[in-house]
A and B are shown apart, each in its own frame.
Chain A
Amino acid sequence: MGEREYDASSYVPPAEVGEMELVHPKTFIGKYIWSQDAKVIAIQYVITATSIGLVALVLSLLMRLQLGFPNSLTLIDPSSYLQYVTMHGMIMVIYLLTALFLGGFGNYLIPLMCGARDMAFPYLNMLSYWVYLVSVLLLVVGFFLPGGSTGAGWTLYPPQAINPGTPGVDGGIILMLVSLAAFIIGFTMGGLNYVVTVLQARTRGMTLMRLPLTVWGIFMATVMALLAFPALLVAALMMLLDRLLGTSFFMPGMLSMGELSSHEGGSPLLFQHLFWFFGHPEVYIVALPAFGIVSDLIATHARKNIFGYRMMVWAIIIIGALSFVVWAHHMYVSGMNPYFGFLFATTTLVIAVPTAIKVYNWVLTLWRGNIHFTVPMLFAIGFLFTFVNGGLSGLFLGNVTVDVPLSDTYFVVGHFHMVMAVAPILVIFGAIYHWYPKVTGRMLNDTLGKIHFWVTFLGTYAIYYPMHFIGLEGVPRRYYAYGETTFISDSVQALNAGITIAAFIVAIAQVLFLFNLVWSYFRGRESGPNPWQANTLEWQTPHTPPRHGNFGEELPAVYRWPYDYSVPGAKHDFIPQNVPPEEVEYEESSKSGGRA
């Protein structure tokens, strides 16, 4: 037995806070619609986010159709193409990924993993979901307005976002901005809940350094979101005034369609700074929960303690802090002071250090582990590949001199889809396969899951790898058609067609996944309370799925960290967090060799 990180003690301090007040509803509506139970709210979040995410998926397919087989569908004209680009990006980043990780997984897992009966403020939590739903509905209404939704690109850069000629400038952009503001208000309500629950409502024995990394990732992402979303709110309000009242925060005086605009003296660069002050942390708001969840998936399915737990926690905190000082690396070509570029390139490369620590620790956790190739594990390993790939192309783009020629090309599209679209989505899939048994009491179908994984994982590479090459040729993104362009070689069209075919195959695999979700709910194998033999508290609930209040009569007490897998000498290869040291069973032969 070498020196290992180990934290267990038989002493558990007495409870500091009294029992939580729970409102137990009697009616169906109280239980499932206006629910204050974090688990039900989580499922509401997941269903809403997935539904709007499917819309964004269809939009991406329409875009691919136009790029791979130009003008094959008359429905897609240049302005609707721009609208697809915009809405696809906006929905995927904010309304799907942010809402799913924080609203979905955050709501379900934080109270269970911390050993709380519910979130600290259940009523506020319920409001959070309903405001989120309103923001999604506002977004959807935008599609049906005359002129359609906005086509300004998901970054909504002024002046073009509110200039005549951009699709959706009459109504779409207004609804977009209002919807964003609503999303931020709703998220703030939820986010306050997550933070307070993690900080103040843990069960006896649960120190911060005994929290599963999933909770750490979601917690830090929430803190970041609470500090980053204000910048987006301010930018949205200012742009709303520019559009509705004719103010000039962001709008310079300019000639538009042969006429002098009524705006004067605003600063478009100010918007970019505000937007990216939100936008860059947003990348990590999506990535950190994925980091946390994947750590737990890898440790559980490799039956081995996570390598360097403390380092993992500090890396999460440091990444969170650093991500607030890198935003202008999205703006190297914006015309800002060139010295900024140097500063932000440096901070950007510094952030690679804690990120690399995390990647090494995941790999070292796998090293000589007892790896079970279950579906969640496959997705977790898939994440490692796509994340490292996307991270490496990030090193290219973080350097000013390399970034300038690559700006706004398909290289950028390939990079960020690899690192912040596919990588977190793979973790979401893995997490769904992992926790579905706890949510429903039934296992997802394994064969369908493996098909889903391989098609998605390989399809990802088929889609995004070629984009890097296309981008190196200088093909700009967000273009409807390329026409006669000398610097683009003919083979690009062939690659584009291939990407489109791959995209459709991957999309079909997602239909398979949805089918699996529904089918397994009724016909899946019964899972029992702890099918993966995991240590964290959510697997130790008396009921599966857990009832309102989570833990029955008495809250569990926590005696150890969550990664006691394959402890030498122990009879089982896992020791749940709520098992006191004196109740751990040891193998007869090695009893003397076990720990005191």
Chain B
Amino acid sequence: MVNSTPRGPTQKSGWQGLVSDLASDQRAFKNVPWGKAMMWIFLLSDIFIFACFLVGYMTVRISTTEPWPDASEVFALHIGSRNVPLLLIAIMTFILISSSGTMALAVKFGYEKNRRATATLLILTALLGASFVGMQAFEWTKLIGEGVRPWGNPWGAAQFGASFFLITGFHGTHVSIGVIFLIIMSIKVLRGSLETGRPGFLTGRKGRYEMVETLGLYWHFVDLVWVFIFAFFYLW
């Protein structure tokens, strides 16, 4: 009658095996540090925020009776004598996606304990992120100069400006926060805090190279979200 729970390799297969693995002793996700688990769950929550934003945007876009401004005209850059549609945004997207590449390399060199390469790549990622935010600021200035406001614009539905500023602003805030943390992390790496286990300034807890990967998760997420915002705002 005593059900001596089987130990060692899982004996169940399929869904039951998955469930008993997840429910197993001490940790549901083996070899996942706490910080990384926390970041994944936070990102799940953040996905819901962006999803709600985008669903809200789609709803107001569909339900408004006014015409929606034409993206390829509104977001065009005037170069020479012709309008090049989506030029700026293509550059911005390229930069942000590239920064995901440098971030991934930073994580790799972090685990190899290559301090200089990690720090350099983190700073490079931060620079790419900052230039993205800078270009976004330029785009906002240009649109504001053309008369786009959250409560109206010259070309059609007022919700265009409202959702554009809200959603790209919210995303830009994410990027800016990421840049700040990238700078902090690169300082930590340069000082060698992650090797000596020097206590953090605020939390008083030891740093580890896993933190670089956790920050990387956040950064990749911010890039991924941008792909969706790009598709829904600039291509629709």
Contact = CB atoms under 8 A, between A and B. Distances in A.
Are A and B co-members of a single complex? yes
Interface stretch (B104-112, B127-135, B158-166): B158-166
Contact of A206 (B1, B25, B46, B151): B25
A264 B158 contact: yes
Contact of A199 (B1, B29, B49): B29
What 5 pairs between A and B have smallest CB-CB spacing?
Answer: A208-B23, A247-B162, A230-B48, A234-B52, A230-B49
B2 A8 contact: yes
B24 interface: yes
B235 interface: no
B5 A7 contact: yes
A99 to B, nearest CB: 18
A15 B28 CA distance: 14
Chain A interface: which size bin? Answer: 35 or more
Nearest to B59: A270
B79 interface: no
A202 B42 contact: no
Interface of B: 1-5, 7, 22-30, 32, 34-35, 37-38, 41-42, 44-46, 48-49, 51-53, 56, 59-60, 63-66, 150-151, 157-159, 161-163, 166, 170, 202-206
A237 B166 contact: yes
B10 to A, nearest CB: 13
A205 interface: yes
A192 B37 CA distance: 9
A188 interface: yes
B151 A123 contact: no
Interface string A202-232: 1111111100000000000000001111110
A196 B38 contact: yes
A235 B45 CA distance: 15
Contacts of B170: 237
A230 B27 contact: no
A23 B30 CA distance: 26
A420 to B, nearest CB: 22
B162 A248 contact: yes
Given A230-B48, A231-B48, A192 B38 contact: yes
A169 interface: no
Contacts of A8: 2
A3 B166 contact: no
Interface of A: 1, 3-4, 6-9, 11, 13, 15-17, 21, 23, 120-121, 123, 188, 191-193, 195-196, 199-209, 226-231, 233-235, 237-238, 241, 245-249, 262, 264-267, 270, 273-274, 277, 581, 595-596
Nearest to A229: B45
Contacts of A229: 45
Contacts of A245: 150-151, 162
B52 A230 contact: yes
Nearest to A270: B59
A581 B1 CA distance: 14
Contacts of A199: 27-29, 37
A270 B25 contact: no
29 contacts: A8-B2, A9-B2, A9-B4, A13-B26, A16-B25, A16-B30, A120-B34, A121-B34, A192-B38, A199-B29, A200-B28, A200-B29, A200-B37, A201-B27, A202-B27, A204-B25, A206-B26, A226-B41, A226-B44, A230-B45, A233-B52, A246-B151, A247-B150, A247-B158, A248-B60, A248-B162, A265-B157, A267-B63, A273-B59
A267 B26 contact: no
Contacts of B4: 9
Given A241-B150, A262-B151, A274-B56, A3 B23 contact: no
Contacts of A595: 1-2
